[in-house]
Amino acid sequence: MPRVGAKALHLLDPEDAHNLTIRALAAGLGPQQMTRDDPVLATQIGSLALPNAVGLAAGFDKNAEAPVAMLRAGFGFVECGTVTPLAQAGNPRPRLFRLTQDRAVINRMGFNNGGLEPFAQRLSVRPKAAGVVGANIGANKDSGDRIGDYVTGLERLWGLADYFTVNISSPNTPGLRALQTKAALDELLGRLAQARAALIASSADVPVLLKVAPDLEEGEVESIVESVLAHGLNGIIVSNTTISRPEGLQSIWKAETGGLSGAPLMTLSTHMLRRFHEVAAGRVALIGAGGIASGADAYAKIRAGACAVQLYSAMAYSGPGLISVIKRDLAARLKADGFTSVTQAVGQT
């Protein structure tokens, strides 16, 4: 949808505008990239070869309604979800707020989604040749066994998604972030590892990633990396939204409860990415998310340690056509510094 379309959507309630965008994209009305990606943008996440390093973050397409449209728009990979085993309405509206002056968004959606079955059905009929589509899995708010919900998601979508992201870092499901603590995380990843081992006994393996918050305490980075390596995960996405509120926010919505994303998250999430890069020391792939709105932002994440990046909130202000602008700028920056691939630039501060 061109930039003028994005401006027109700002006349609507943010959630209504988003839903309208998804419907339009699913109907084939979005932008389409007509040329091949510059080879300098290609990268790898585990076994996944990506045509470019710029991906769509989870949250945009919760129900896997428009992944092919977003791949055609130029994203190197698309992550759908968060999806939970059972459909749930999420938190009461209003729950999505544009902080226009700050180029930011606050959301407290609460994993609203249609559940695993329709999600799986849509993935089952997608043309796999269109590109890489991942599934971001979560737990129902009222579940009696949240870890079991993640296992259910992994098992139901195995063979349908090209990779999985285990989302334990949304601030909008009470108690969910407690799964980032050492004992809880080891239990979760241990049960997922058992389920994964059974699945790959009869089918091909795919990467499994962990998505973390930017609001981690001292020492938590080390314990998370240890758990990820111990249980055989392939990558970490750094980061989800923040519950903090950086100084200088101007919008009247700045005090709303929920996770803050967009431009104000860039500094915090990149700092956390750099910490994970220091601790992981190349032993696990890192994907940078949070605050990306330009090629310069994407390049900063790569130089901080990311082999690929994801964005979402910036499209609320610029529309899906932003992806082409970011890729052109990123390719130019890589070449200007003498890199012939994204991989060469990872962690080169």
Active site residues: 170
**Contact call for residues 93 and 256 (beta carbons, < 8 A):** no
| Residues in a beta bridge with 287 | 237, 308
Q: What distance lies between CA 289 and its chain's CA centroid?
A: 7
Spatial separation of the C-alpha atoms in residues 18 and 16, rounded to whole Å:
5
Q: Which amino acid is at 223?
A: S
